[in-house]
Every structure is written in C-alpha cells, then in structure tokens.
Amino acid sequence: MSENPQPTQEPQFPAPSPADFDPTQAADYAQKMLLPHFSDAPSESQAATPLAPAEALPPSEVETHEHQIINNLYDQIDSINAAKAADDANRNRREADQKRLAMTDELTQLYNRAGLKAQYQEQQGRFKGRRGTDNGDALLVIDLDHFKNVNDTYGHPVGDKVLKRVAQTLRSALREDDVVGRWGGEEFLVILPNTNSETAQIVAERIRTDIDNTPPDTEVPVHMTTCVGVGPLDFSKDLEDNVEPADKALYKAKQSGRNQVVSTYTQAA
C-alpha cells in the first residue's frame, strides 16, 4: 500500500510594507495570502485566470503592478478602519445618551438625584480642598409650598405641569455654571459655585419671587409659592452632609409662614 503524500506547505509571504516588499512576489502574495480574506475575492476554483506572476511582467510594468496591489490593500484597510471608527463613535454616542438619561429627571429634564451627585463629585474634583466659607460656595434647597394639595385637588397631570414650569423658572434664574436638579418629589437642589452668602441669598430671593409671579400653564388657576433654605457648600463633605443645614433652614421657612427664604448664614449671625 502506497503512503499518502504529505500536503505541500503553502509558502509564507512577508507583510506588504512599501519599504521591503519584493515585487517578484507581489502577485502571488495577493492571490494566495490576501485576496481570500476579502468577502468579494474569488475562490481558487472560481477564479477564471490566476494573477500573472510579477516576474512575467515586462520590467517597466513591475513597479506599477506592485503599487497597484499595495494601494488596493491599503484602500481596503482604510475602509475597514473608517467603518470601525464609525462603529466606535456610534457606540460612544449611545453610551453617552444612556448615561445622560440615567442622570436626568424624565419629567423636568433637570438632573435627578444621581445626576446631582455626579455633578457634585465633578465639582469636588475641581475645587478639592476648598471648604465652605462666607466667600466660597453655596447650596440652595427649594421646596414648593402645599404642592400635595395641587395633586389632590386637580390631579397629577396638573401637578406635573407645575413642576415643569418651576424647572423652567429655575433654569432661567441661574448661571451657566450653576447646577440645578430635582432632589425628589417637589424638592429641588441648586449648587452655586463661587458664590458668597450675600449673593446666594439674592439668588434664592430671585427664585422665590419668580416662582411666585410665574403661573404655570395649566387649565385651572394655580398659584405656586416656595420656600428656600440657603447654606454654605463644603466640598470636603458629602453632598448629603451639605444638604442637612440648608434643609434645616428650609424647615424653619416652612414653620415661619412659607413663601420665604431662610439662610443658615443669618441664623449663625
């Protein structure tokens, strides 16, 4: 019985580098090593005629033949890279959209609690080591007066319109660098970087007045007022720790008749 012949090993060809590419191997390289990797390349059985070996070409055409093959390969590589870059950009955009949605309150389109915390942590990175002082940074806690009565009397659709109008009022009353979000329910939070106590109280009073004077776009007449608690912002602490003193000032405003601003600065004085 005759032995089965050992398969002949395909020759290995170097990568197509313009610096060291051997023109006598160009055609064989393209046919045997590169073309099978492309989906539209003909198989060995489908190919009508093999590529002519480079050594069979007239000497004047060898260099042109080589450059055509290499340029075609680089065109394919550029196309693959461009497609990959487009896929990466689309994926990054989707991930950014998902992250934004996860940190945005669906109703008001302000930051939600998670978004506020993320923004605060970003501010901590910028102002690391800066402690809350009269000349530093401030925090506002805002709560709508008797909002539950609006929902109970007119229903949640009207209450939702009130919250949307309050969100618009807050955005228009604040600077670009200020951070505002819905802390929960009818309570909102405002981070005021580079804001001393006097300016923080002016901003708080402007917000209170604007909400008082801006009726929401509802089918029934709704007059909304708010209380605002003002406190210093200490970036060496967690956000919740900063909220606590401003929240106490807010509670005092509620006890004192509502529709007013109370500041921890004035309490300390």
104: which strand partners? 111
**Does 186 participate in catalysis according to the annotation?**
yes
Show the tokens assigned to 266. Answer: 């004035």
Distance CA 9, CA 112 (A): 64
Which entry of 63, 106, 186, 219 is annotated as an active-site residue?
186
Distance CA 221, CA 239 (A): 36
Q: 3-state SS string over 80-139?
A: HHHHHHHHHHHHHHHHHHHHHHHCECCCCCCECHHHHHHHHHHHHHHCCCCCCCCCCEEE
Query: Please, what sign has the CA dihedral across residues 207, 264, 186, 225?
Result: negative
Residue 217, phi then psi, degrees to nearest 5: -85, 80
- What letters, b where the CB count within 10 A reaches 16 and e where it falls short, cover 129-162? ebebeeebbbbbbbbbbebeebeeebeeebbebb
Distance CA 157, CA 44 (A): 69
Q: Which residues are catalytic?
A: 186
